Amino acid sequence: MHIDEIREKVADKLSSAEEMMSWIDLLQDTSPGHYGIEDVDVDVSAKDIWVDVPKREFSFKNASISFSARLGASSDEHGYDDNFTKTVTGQGKFDFSDGSKDVTLMELSINENIELYEEE
């Protein structure tokens, strides 16, 4: 598999439904805190991904994460949902799968502390 194919596959995996739980876990420590995250959508271009094939590591920039956070309280009466879009950078590890025709993300982290009401 060529490096551009690996970058494209990592980009696809970062945006895939199978990685949504990883993104939700990364969004647990927002400021202010929240009572739940829903409707996560991630968009990152393969051109913004760098891979180190021998180390099976990747890094990315300009990943756009859109999500809904439950704020104020968990109840419908006292809480409310608000939508956010944040741009993040990060890194992770991958491994080859399916006879080296695909990749599986093994680790994922972001560099930013997510401030929900901070202007970007």
DSSP assignment of 1-55: --HHHHHHHHHHHHTSGGGHHHHHHHGGG-BS--S-EEEEEEE--GGGEEEETTT
Gap between the Cα atoms of 120 and 41, Å rounded: 18
Q: Is the pLDDT of residue 73 over 90?
A: no
| pTM for the predicted model, two decimal places | 0.90
Q: Is residue 69 part of a domain?
A: yes
Higher local confidence (pLDDT), 4 or 76: 4
pLDDT of residue 75: 83
Query: Has residue 118 been placed in a domain?
Result: no
Residue 35: is its pLDDT beyond 70? yes
Structural domain of 24: 3-110
Q: Do the domain assignments include residue 117?
A: no
**What percentage of the chain carries pLDDT values higher than 90?**
82
Tally of domains in the chain: 1
Residue 51 lies in a domain: yes
Please report which confidence band the pLDDT of residue 105 belongs to, taking 50, 70 and 90 as the band edges.
very high
What 8-state DSSP symbol labels residue 17? G
90 domain-assigned? yes
pLDDT of the residue at 120: 59
| Domain membership flag for residue 115 | no
**Domain annotation covers residue 102:** yes
pLDDT of residue 92: 98
Q: Which of 43, 42, 44, 52 is nearest to 6 (CA)?
A: 52
Q: Determine the pLDDT at residue 76.
A: 80
Q: Does residue 120 form part of some domain?
A: no
